[in-house]
Amino acid sequence: MAIRFVLYGLLGWCAEVVWSAVTEKILRQQRDWRLLGHTSLWMFPLYGLLAPLYEPLHDFLRPWHWFMRGVIYLLGIWLVEYITGWLLRKLTGKCPWDYSELRGNLHGLIAWEYAPVWFAAGLLLEPVHGFFVRLTPAIRSALGLGG
C-alpha cells in the first residue's frame, strides 16, 4: 500500500502540474508557451490517499455500470477535496486550491464546474489502479523488499 501511496502522490503531482500549465494557457490566454505549471507539497499526501480510499472503492464498484461508478467517484472526490481543503485552511490558513471565482463553488473548496473532470478522473484511474497493482511487486523487488 505504501508503494502505491507514493505512486499516486507522484502521478497526482505530475497531472496537476500539466493541468495547471495547460489551463493557464487556454483559459487565461497566456502568451507564454513555456507552459509553467504548479502544485503544492500538500498535494502529494492528498493524491496518495487514492491508495487507501480509491482502490477499495474501485474493487467494490467493479461490477457496477460505468456511469454509476463515475458518479460515486465524483462524490467521493468532492468529499475528500472538501474535508482536506477545510483541514488545510484550519491548519495553515490557506488551501492549495481556491474555487471561489467559480459560480458553483461551495466555500471555495469544491465546485460544480469540476464535476465532469472528477467524474472522468475517477474512471480514468481504474486502469491506473490495475497497472499500479501489477507494478508494485516489481518495485518491491527492485527495492529489496521481496516479491
* Residues 31-52: tens digit of each pLDDT: 777 778 889 999 999 999 999 9
Mean pLDDT of the chain: 93
The pLDDT value given to residue 68: 98
**Residue 78 maps to a domain:** yes
* Residue 6, domain member (yes or no): yes
Residues present in the chain in total: 147
> Is residue 100 predicted with pLDDT exceeding 80?
yes
Q: Is 111 a member of any domain?
A: yes
Average pLDDT over residues 11-33: 84
Q: Residue 29: pLDDT above 70?
A: no
pTM above 0.85, yes or no: yes
CA-CA-CA-CA dihedral for 118, 119, 125, 126, to nearest 10 = 160
Which residue segment(s) compose the domain that 50 sits in?
Answer: 2-142
112 pLDDT more than 70 = yes
> Which pLDDT score, from 0 to 100, does residue 31 have?
72
Q: Determine the angle formed by the axes of helices 2-27 and 115-142, rounding to 10 degrees.
A: 140
Instruction: Provide, rounded to the nearest whole percent, the portion of the chain with pLDDT above 70.
Output: 98
CA distance readout (Å), 18 to 27, 35, 60: 14, 8, 30
Output the nine-digit C-alpha cell for 8: 499516486
Domain count, the chain: 1
Flag whether 147 is in a domain.
no
- Percent over 90 (pLDDT), the chain: 84
> What pLDDT was estimated at residue 78?
98
